[in-house]
Amino acid sequence: MSEQVQVVLVAAAGGAVVGVLGLLAGWLLRSRSLRWQLALVAVVSVTTVLVGVVAIAQLMFLSRHDLQVVMLVTLAGAVVSLGVAAILSEALVRWSRRMREHVRRIGGGLPDEPAPQAPAELSELARELAAARRRLEEAADREQRLEESRRELVSWVSHDLRTPLAGIRAMAEALEDGLANDPVRYHSQIRGEVDRMVSMVDDLFELSRIHAGVLRLQPELVLLGDLVSEAVAAADPVARMHRVQVGGEVQSGLEVTVDPAGLSRVLGNLIVNGVRHTPADGSVHVSARVVGDEVELAVADQCGGIEAGTIDRVFEVAFRGAEARTPEDPADPSAASRAGLGLAIVKGIVEAHRGRVEVSNTGPDGAVTGCRFVVRLPLSGPLTPSAG
């Protein structure tokens, strides 16, 4: 066996023994301060070198003087290593304390502060904790808005149901007592109020299915122009009543895989919403075209715009802005459901199609004269029969 191989084997054997003892000591010190862990690393490193030097010196039959020189050099290196380990351990302890204070600020809801100056891993951890806090705050805000929307929904639906029920009761009592001068008109009014309440209940049921994730889609390849034409024709009576012109244009031959009933409801809600908010002699325009790998379906009206502080809330459940709770004209078919559900249903159905819906104010030369709702749907890719 060559001399080099003997040196390697002896040094490796000594290092293995010291390493095993070091691991055992590390396990015993696992719950102690980081200072002990770093000091242990330094001690193990120096001891490994020292054991190897002593063992090799014995094999090489060094003189006592030479061995002392080697030992002194090794011990000097050990002192320096332990000093460096002590300094680094103290710095690491300070960094960990700063990190603990940073986490405590986050947990206590205190304002954010810059991540503590620390090694890259700890700084990255501090930034991730701050980002997690912001996400949690945003989630809490969303939950609070949803809870407020639920309370408003219950309040507004209760109001919107109480009004027609009171009218139906009064008309029914008049009919029973023989006090109705025109029973046919009373029956017609009762039927209209019942239809309005049925429409509201249908909206509530549809919204509950959307929120529960059980909305059933029956996707088909359809001509988008046909759906737009049907929606415009269905909204024509309402448009005539409000003296609003409804028109549109669709890219020729445009086909899309959608649930026809669901997309028809989206179009109907958006068109009627535009008609209801557009003043007399105004117009609502529907358009559809391909933009990239999406189908862009837009409904533009002349409602005068939406306030900047509320435009981000128009798709929330029960949000109706400053509009009165009671419909202005019970004979208006568009007033069938004013509980602020129409746009929330639009958003739910569009998202079930893996699309998105947006709204923005529009007008020439920076003047706001109306708003534009844009539905973006994927142009290709089959839909699953069930989505929500």
Q: Which long-range contacts (CB under 8 A, 24 or more apart) does 168-173 make?
A: 168/193, 168/194
Contact indicator for 167, 193 with CB cutoff of 8 Å: yes
Tell me: the pLDDT tens digits for 150-160?
777 677 777 77
Looking at residue 209, what is its pLDDT? 80
Looking at residue 160, what is its pLDDT? 72
* 319 closest CA partner among 200, 164, 145, 142: 145
170's CB contacts (< 8 A; 6+ apart) are none
Whose tokens are 């039959």? That residue is 61
Mean pLDDT over each residue of the chain, to the nearest integer = 78
**Per-position pLDDT tens, the chain of length 388:** 576 776 677 777 877 887 788 788 878 877 777 677 777 777 777 777 777 777 777 666 566 777 777 777 777 777 777 777 777 777 777 777 777 776 776 666 555 555 556 667 667 777 777 777 778 878 888 788 777 767 776 777 777 778 788 888 888 888 888 887 888 888 888 888 888 888 778 878 887 787 777 778 888 899 999 999 999 999 998 899 999 999 989 988 888 889 998 899 999 999 998 999 999 999 999 999 998 889 999 999 998 888 877 888 888 776 666 443 334 444 454 454 445 678 888 998 999 889 999 999 988 877 788 899 999 998 865 454 444 3
**Which run of H or of E encompasses 114?**
none
Contact indicator for 263, 254 with CB cutoff of 8 Å: no
Tell me: the pLDDT tens digits for 108-119?
655 555 555 666
Looking at residue 113, what is its pLDDT? 58
Residue 294 phi/psi, 5-degree rounding, is -130, 160
* Rounded CA separation 339/163 (Å): 13
182's CB contacts (< 8 A; 6+ apart) are none
Q: If you ran DSSP here, which 8-state letter would residue 386 be given?
A: B
Contact indicator for 54, 116 with CB cutoff of 8 Å: no
* Rounded CA separation 244/208 (Å): 32
Residue 304 phi/psi, 5-degree rounding, is 95, 0
Q: Is the pTM value of this prediction over 0.75?
A: no
Q: Dihedral (C-alpha) 171, 177, 181, 184: value to the nearest 10 degrees? A: 60
**Which run of H or of E encompasses 349?**
helix 342-352
Contact indicator for 276, 242 with CB cutoff of 8 Å: yes
Looking at residue 374, what is its pLDDT? 94
Contact indicator for 330, 193 with CB cutoff of 8 Å: yes
Looking at residue 229, what is its pLDDT? 92
Tell me: the pLDDT tens digits for 258-276?
999 889 999 999 999 899 9
Strands (DSSP E) found in 25-149: none
**Which run of H or of E encompasses 200?**
helix 183-212
Say how many C-beta atoms besides its own lie within 10 A of residue 156's C-beta.
Answer: 18
Contact indicator for 14, 58 with CB cutoff of 8 Å: no
